[in-house]
Structure 1
């Protein structure tokens, strides 16, 4: 039987507070300074100096500005690192994020329309249809979705397709696209209910309209271009008549099939050493499937360090909103002592954080270094994509405890996997619900 809060209850809570001698002082401190400032642990901040025993030089950071394209920026950053090194490019060289964004959004719109057709026999009140309509398309995504776009469309240098006002702040575009897609969903569901033979024709007309919206917002994607650059010795180079796929093959020169997603999700529904995918999560129809191999955290960390030691940076997904200071560029779960401040228990295990919606994967960055002391990692160097005005010229320091608690995914070259890992990664994946925490990077991006 439910019970409401009585006046007697409130009086008891008030008396409990009066028994605390520090209550008035704490109230003044917190209400005046804010929770994080009052709970700041300066000792923890002092331990997060940007010094690392293993470090990859990756140049200047990029800036996703007011968009949720962290996963694209992080992935293209990992690719530009070797490209810049192999061709002696300057530290500010970037691959075009807007080119990849254009095709990702276009493919996501088609993905949504196809899923609307597939679920047309389900009621609007079904959770799957409701989930589709909540966010028809968005800025976020997953590593495998990035690979699917690049495998189909290639990449280009930023000089071939530059950012626009719309790509720097995607909120208006997302509002327009999502409204249009919901209107399209009404028409497609009606046609499906009538078993209309015109459904593919109508969908094709919808995609033509979406293409127009994207071109007006981003510009039309370049199909052929010249690559001109000066190297670090100021020597001039030009490569003419390149296509995006030719550019990727010649300059980036990565076999994306070699890179796989490793997750750490210690929840009971995801046994370790199994693979998982997320229902209805993707962008390119018939493209690469989102697929995660779930491993224990010790193994995920070991693989991350191995890849760094071999000179390769590591794309990773985490919950950047937790226990971090954006301005100072520190991610440390000891940064704020909020439990001590309020004298309450705020401790949750990693599986509890996921199961009870306290933490989700919402941001992708790049690990470019680690500090190992007495054989153990103590902190990590992170390349973010929020510009050079935060952290140490855009780079963040992540504590070992934060890494283990709030990192959920890394992308690892298969050559670093054990034979057992490789065998497990080849399994057919278990299909998770669309709203599973291992898919949230596509919807809760920062």
Structure 2
């Protein structure tokens, strides 16, 4: 009798290891195939000495693009998020500052991005810890728990999260809470916050057996530490401030002492609660005309859930075009790094001809890119212009928050082909929607899991 193990024969249809492994014969065949085409050697010589984007850049597209558009709103300087992931805040505040500057009688005005960042971080820490409490009966390697622990307090966000912050905490001018080293470079601060929150998650999960009151007592201690870290890195958000300014005609004005809520009420000139988030999610599992939400997505616990309405891309384009032509910039989220030339400040869906360089096809469409983790929303910006030809958009002008050094002093140009492939969401007025889509907003949303790509945060 043989001890230790028994022999089990392989099924007759089991794959042979020779079919699973790379063999010398295969490698030789690939090498011969590569060497047989002179174009491969030419590309090898070029790409080993020059960046592949320089080689693949389609000159025909570059020379066909200029930065002029038929409808142009911006007459102000761009902002700069620097080494932070606050694009969604910057885009939202850039939208609001247009009306504020007009009311103040100044050309350039900025709300404090640092103020919004402070409150987002503190609220998001609370939101994360509440999600930990809600899932504390699950294993730590549960997929939802692992997703929460993977990124407990990133810089990124979505439109509804921005609206929630303004509604609860108001706004202040940049002079009332200016930038700090850490607001412009959030990495070191975020590392401390992530460590505190993951440690807090461990403690909250351990305290689950003692009940929710014990968990919330520990949560309060964690939030006290988070408050200290934020105040050390970013300063203390003002509860009130003296607001006075000099307009473009050098006339002096003073509003006196005011609170952030009062300041927002006075200088936010658009009705934020009337805006809705339209997305383009072409996956078969995401029917158009339905609302969606994502588990554990948000920053303020008591705020309305992050809800978006799935619509056809042509509708997103039309409503965006109509808003810009009507004089109003549009907040949007996209996959910014795809088919982008930073030094030129342009996007086009076919800007780089990688197929010609590699002699390989890249054929995933937008739905397949979402399904196979090739794309998701990564950045938010502001549409400030559109070039309309025969009633349809041909190209778009975009206010980025990456400073003045690139593009047209920080304003980028997007060909309409890129909008269709890489724009995911826009914020528009509900009154602009077709009646059937407006009615759909009143239906209960389909709930997507926490890790769904449509829950990605723009940063």
TM-score tier by shorter-chain length is over 0.9
Q: CA deviation at 1:196?
A: 6.4
Q: Could you tell which deviates more after superposition, 197-206 or 245-254?
A: 197-206
From 322, 325, 329, the equivalent of 2:341 is 325
Is contact 2:99-2:269 (8 Å) kept? Answer: no
Residue of structure 2 equivalent to 1:120: 136
1:56 and 1:196, CA in 2 relative to 1: closer, same or farther beyond 3 A?
Answer: closer
Whether the aligned pair in 2 keeps the contact of 1:72 and 1:146 (CA below 8 Å) is yes
CA pair 196-340 structure 1, distance change in 2 beyond 3 A: closer
CA distance in 2, matches of 1:428, 1:214: 36
**1:119-178 superposed Cα distances (whole Å, 9 cap, x missing partner):** 110001100110111011110011101111111100011011100000110001111000
1:421 to 431, 437, 444: 437
How far does the alpha carbon of each residue in 1:310-347 deviate from its partner, in whole angstroms, 9 at most, with x for none?
A: 11100000000101012211111221111111111012
Written as runs of structure 1 = structure 2, the 5 A alignment for 1:28-177 is 28-91=45-108, 93-177=109-193
Residue by residue over 1:206-263, the C-alpha shift from the partner in whole angstroms, topping out at 9 and shown as x without a partner, is 1111111110111110111122222221212121111001011111133221011000
Alignment counterpart, residue 356 of structure 2, candidates 330, 337, 340: 340
- Residue equivalent to 1:434: 450
Residues 99 and 267 of structure 2 are in contact (CA less than 8 Å); yes or no, is this contact kept in structure 1?
no
Checking the alignment, whether the CA contact within 8 Å between 1:147 and 1:288 is kept in structure 2 is: no
Give, in whole Å, the separation in 1 of the partners of 2:311 and 2:378. 20
1:271-293 Cα deviation digits (max 9, x unpaired): 00000011000010111310100
The alpha-carbon distance between structure 1 residues 197 and 383, as it changes in their structure 2 partners (threshold 3 A), is closer
1:242 counterpart = 2:258:
yes
Provide the rounded CA distance (Å) in 2 between the counterparts of 1:73 and 1:196.
37
Secondary structure at the residue paired with 2:114? helix
1:214-229, aligned counterparts within 5 Å? 214-229=230-245
C-alpha offsets along residues 6-29 of structure 1, whole Å, 9 cap, x if unaligned? Answer: 010011111111220222222111
Looking at structure 2, the residues matched to 57 and 236 of structure 1 have their Cα atoms a distance apart, in angstroms, of: 25
Q: Take 1:35 and 1:260, find their aligned partners in 2: how far apart are those partners?
A: 40
Quick check: 10-19 or 378-387, which moved more?
Answer: 10-19
**C-alpha contact (below 8 Å) 1:103/1:149 kept by paired residues:** yes
Shift of 1:57: 2.1
Which has the higher Rg, Structure 1 or Structure 2? 2
C-alpha separation in 2, matches of 1:385 and 1:393: 11
Mapped pair 1:287 → 2:303: yes
Matched, 1:315 2:315: no
TM-score (norm: length of structure 2): 0.94
**What is the deviation of 1:414?**
1.4
Aligned match of 2:25: 8
Q: Which runs of 5+ in 2 are unaligned?
A: 1-14
Is the CA contact 1:317–1:441 (under 8 Å) kept in the aligned structure 2? no
Q: Distance in 1 between matches of 2:273 and 2:258?
A: 23
